[in-house]
Structure 1
């Protein structure tokens, strides 16, 4: 394929106004450390690429999302990406909220080895441990440790016996796990949580005071997160072969589901720190992908076949938990448009 080793990135600035996409030259070799948002003209786009751009700009699932950056790639390189609007690119750093969960769970499994995980550790990673936080206070004060984030001044995590064995979507499970494992680490500095995570995942996520909230406090960009997703596809992590391990029902009304924010269609499950998305195909529920949407709209995804990844990067911090679901719906519409060459409504 002509684009297998190439990446095309465009900006949709001005598309609606003048029918032209972007403002600069076209295509170049992928450099994961570079700002990759060069433009191209509408005429230079393939049918697939144009369908993706049109969907981002006109689909009912995308028009209300504001500015965002979207990207599709494989284990070798990004295949196609673009910015809708002018304020979000591949390297725009933003709070990724619950997209942190997939990173922390993967780093933890990488550090321990899946075969060495106890039943209780698995419960803390698939949110059935009974450890729930009492409030959503961000542990963002400079110098705060993971242990302090767990305590009453911040998350106030406690064990709820009646929730043990029930799926309850909440960061307290992971916060308790981090307390026992990396409790003395802080958000920044030599002994930071992010330093621990980057060393295990081979990533370069930036430090932030709030990173001591391991289930939702990390920051990063699409370029930072794509490194994790590409390594995941390339079987470089323990998590790579454990994406469906220890999965539990996580949809509203599912067995032993106490609380779930999942509002999409389909019988979603939850694995080790990430969602397992399922859809009905010819009357049968099948796994279609794995994801970890953030409450502010950051949405990372890999396909069930582990040959594609996708990212939609945006941040709306005043709109609540539904922003992640909105990004999921939009991103999947864009992906389907790209794969079919047909714009989605």
Structure 2
């Protein structure tokens, strides 16, 4: 549903990781007003909405994506959503791949309390623990438990001492954590993984057999994930104020980086279960947002000021890690158009 909004001017300072401090540019924070009747004509759209729609349909970064759904909102709810093409809407359920990581970590930190996390737990959450998947087989058979998923039939997670303390993007870190914490839980049914996730996060994510693969097996829609992002920016989670803590370099060639799928230009860091995006301004790297892109193209994002969220939902299962980067590039281009009121090429 499209909502019209009024503009509230405010400044936003980006909190930097690893001792770097800097402020991002001032941006508008849109506040949703009462629901207005939906319209389909160009005249019914604001200049900002029209710019976003034109960019989604015509931008070079969005053209290769096929059908998708994009939306932007704040702590009060959805501001504007665009279904491009047919078959994908806010309620379309799809596998979200690595976007699962942010949900699992949000639930884990919520259940434990950040102050109670050990150094070892934090290393499993920022991918420096040395636990690596030996097998990419998804744990999707009915009745499979987290413990079974960890074993040789599926993920076969092993400890590699030479990788302890180095960043290695891999689900094995989280899978080992889940083994120790919720090992008996299944994908669906009584005492499922998703029952536990939803109870911790206050969400209604659907169950699937592959939920036992906590780093990449969840399914959901933009509407499901929106609830998590809204609660995150409304400071309703333990993780809300911890989005930059325990972060480590995660870009190719970065210090102590063994493996990363990050392919965008510039630096990036990895916090507790999510990417920390940024840009270099006057020689200082500044946080611009937080995300958890999935390999099939599902891309959730929260800005550095934690007053705006964004989602791009699509599922292209023949792709790979590059699909997440494609979604990121398209989503950010649409966001720029929406905030400036000018369509982007």
Q: Which runs of 5+ in 1 are unaligned?
A: 9-26, 29-37
- The residue aligned with 2:294 is 294
- The residue aligned with 1:196 is 196
Q: CA deviation at 1:6?
A: 3.8
Q: CA deviation at 1:282?
A: 3.3
- The residue aligned with 1:246 is 246
- The residue aligned with 1:155 is 155
Deviations 1:84-140 (A, max 9, x none): 011100000000000000000010000000000000000000000000001110000
Give the number of the structure with larger relative contact order, counting CA–CA contacts within 8 Å between residues 6 or more apart.
2
Q: Which 4+ runs in 1 deviate beyond 3 A? A: none
- The residue aligned with 2:260 is 260
Q: CA deviation at 1:281?
A: 2.2
Deviations 1:275-327 (A, max 9, x none): 00011123321000000000000000000000000000000000111100000
Q: Aligned partners of 1:196, 1:73: CA distance in 2, in Å? A: 27
* 8 Å CA contact 1:126, 1:273 repeated in 2: yes
Q: CA deviation at 1:7?
A: 7.9
1:318 aligns with 2:318: yes
Q: CA deviation at 1:342?
A: 1.2
Q: Aligned partners of 1:179, 1:227: CA distance in 2, in Å? A: 26
Q: State the aligned residue count.
A: 318
* 8 Å CA contact 1:266, 1:277 repeated in 2: no
Q: Residues 37-116 of structure 1 correspond to what in structure 2 (within 5 A)?
A: 39-116=39-116
Q: CA deviation at 1:5?
A: 2.5
- The residue aligned with 2:123 is 123
TM-score by length of 2: 0.90
- The residue aligned with 1:136 is 136
Q: CA deviation at 1:243?
A: 0.2
Q: Which runs of 5+ in 2 are unaligned?
A: 7-29
Q: Aligned partners of 1:283, 1:132: CA distance in 2, in Å? A: 35
Q: Aligned partners of 1:82, 1:282: CA distance in 2, in Å? A: 35
Deviations 1:14-45 (A, max 9, x none): xxxxxxxxxxxxx35xxxxxxxxx55211211
Q: CA deviation at 1:47?
A: 1.0
Deviations 1:129-154 (A, max 9, x none): 00000111000000000000000000
Q: Residues 167-246 of structure 1 correspond to what in structure 2 (within 5 A)?
A: 167-246=167-246
Change (3 A) 1:265 1:241: same
Change (3 A) 1:176 1:78: same
Change (3 A) 1:90 1:39: farther
